[in-house]
Amino acid sequence: MRFLAALFLALTPAPPPADIARPAPTFNGTVHAVAYRGDTVYVGGSFTKATWEGRTYPRQRLAAFDSRTGKLMKWAPDTDGVVHALATTADGVFAAGDFHRVAGVKRDAIAHFSGVSGTLAPFSHEVDGTPYTLTTGHGRLYLGGSFSSVDGEPRRNLAAFDLKTGRVDPRWAAKADDRVHTLAVSGQQVFLGGAFHKVNDVSSTLRLAAVSSSNGTLDRYFRPKVTAEVNALAVDSGGVYVATGGQGGRAVAYTLDGSLRWQRVFDGDAVAITRHKGVTYVGGHFDKACLTPRNGPRGTCLDGAEPRIKLAAITGSGKLTDWAPQANGVIGVRVLGVDERANAIDAGGDFTTVGGSSRPHFARFSTETGVRRAH
């Protein structure tokens, strides 16, 4: 029986690891943003070309591909500057960043496109500064970044637009005293993270806070303690998950009242974070995951470490998994996204290889086999 069992195991092919990259286009410059609408994946960044199946195509900082096959689509609006953020709705795609013209037409830092043709919509606003993040919910488009006004009206690093009218929503009046890097809508709240010290002039809102999705008033029951600048966040029914910089970087999980659940420390900044089926995926500048929360100068792990080069995954209880695709580069991973339809994790950034294979600036990973737990 033992012999037959051993023979069965020997002849049964092992399931593919979760870090095998799926087919997807690659790019000649940094990918900063990824968003999803139906079976289409939208990508934004600083690139000017996309490559698919050995052929290179012009793509001026915006591109799209089929989530099922990875095939590059004809959707190709062009901007004259970097796209930092993307968000989708039923009728299109919003982009925000450092651009001033789209397809030769004036669009200051924010634009709206058809999700099918890429045609530019009438949505047009003047943003005095640079947007870094977008999200949608409750009939609104929420904008965060480093700006002082929208359409000449004071808007300190936060604003909301009515999706029906396209106008700035005057009822939503949240503000922050410094950069907002990331936004996420959950329930009746908008969570925001960044470099700010105060939200709505309240001092207990350092770097991470929540406001009402309808009017922007502060949620005073969400009171997390964050030790460093928040670069990215994700929210689900279990809590709030953030990627931070600082002395090294951290992936931190909070309850919905801001209590600490767990944290993982790395030897470099954590820049991107997302959640899928109870697993937290993290990307950034790091090369190692520390075995304890203690680290020293330049993020050096003081109590041992495991190699996790630019990418890592963490269980629901805060344990490190063995998912370790290994992207290269100094900056590494800048954005992570989840394609629920395709059971895929997408990573974009400054890397050019993953696991030793050429994957310039974008890679797609299967999650169908799950991630194995760390010992």
pLDDT for position 20? 54
pLDDT for position 21? 67
The CATH number of whichever domain residue 326 belongs to comes to: 2.130.10.10
- Average pLDDT in the 290-299 region? 88
pLDDT over threshold 80, residue 19:
no
**360 within a domain of the structure (yes/no):** yes
**324 within a domain of the structure (yes/no):** yes
- Average pLDDT in the 346-367 region? 95
pLDDT for position 367? 83
What confidence tens digit (pLDDT) does each residue in 64-75 have?
999 999 999 999
pTM, whole model, 2 decimals? Answer: 0.92
What confidence tens digit (pLDDT) does each residue in 193-203 have?
999 999 999 99
Distance CA 30, CA 45 (A): 6
Q: What is the mean pLDDT of the chain?
A: 92
pLDDT for position 299? 83
Domain ranges, residue 361: 227-370
pLDDT for position 10? 34
**235 within a domain of the structure (yes/no):** yes
- pLDDT bucket at 50, cuts 50 / 70 / 90: very high
**Domains held by the chain: number:** 1
Distance CA 101, CA 263 (A): 42
Assign 3-class secondary structure to the chain. Answer: CHHHHHHHHHHCCCCCCCCCEECCCEECCCEEEEEEECCEEEEEECCCEEEECCEEEECCCEEEEECCCCCECCCCCCECCCEEEEEEECCEEEEEECCCEECCEECCCEEEECCCCCCECCCCCCEEEEEEEEEEECCEEEEEEEEEEECCEECCCEEEEECCCCCECCCCCCCECCCEEEEEEECCEEEEEECCCCECCECCCCCEEEEECCCCCECCCCCCCCCCCEEEEEEECCEEEEEECCCCEEEEEECCCCCEEEEEEECCCEEEEEEECCEEEEEECCCEEECCCCECHHHCECCCEEECCCEEEECCCCCEECCCCCECCCCCEEEEEEECCCCEEEEEECCCEECCEECCCEEEEECCCCCCECC
Strands 180-186 and 249-254: unpaired
Distance CA 193, CA 285 (A): 19
Q: In what order do the strands lie in the sheet with 55-58?
A: 26-27, 49-52, 55-58
pLDDT over threshold 80, residue 98:
yes
Distance CA 247, CA 113 (A): 40
Distance CA 277, CA 279 (A): 6
Query: Under a CB-based contact definition with an 8 Å cutoff, are residues 132 and 83 in contact?
Result: no
pLDDT for position 148? 98
For residue 276, the cross-strand partners are 279
What confidence tens digit (pLDDT) does each residue in 216-273 have?
999 999 999 999 999 999 999 889 999 999 888 999 999 999 999 999 999 999 999 9
Tell me the two tokens of residue 370.
């799950």
**62 within a domain of the structure (yes/no):** no
**317 within a domain of the structure (yes/no):** yes
**206 within a domain of the structure (yes/no):** no
pLDDT for position 3? 35
**101 within a domain of the structure (yes/no):** no
**279 within a domain of the structure (yes/no):** yes
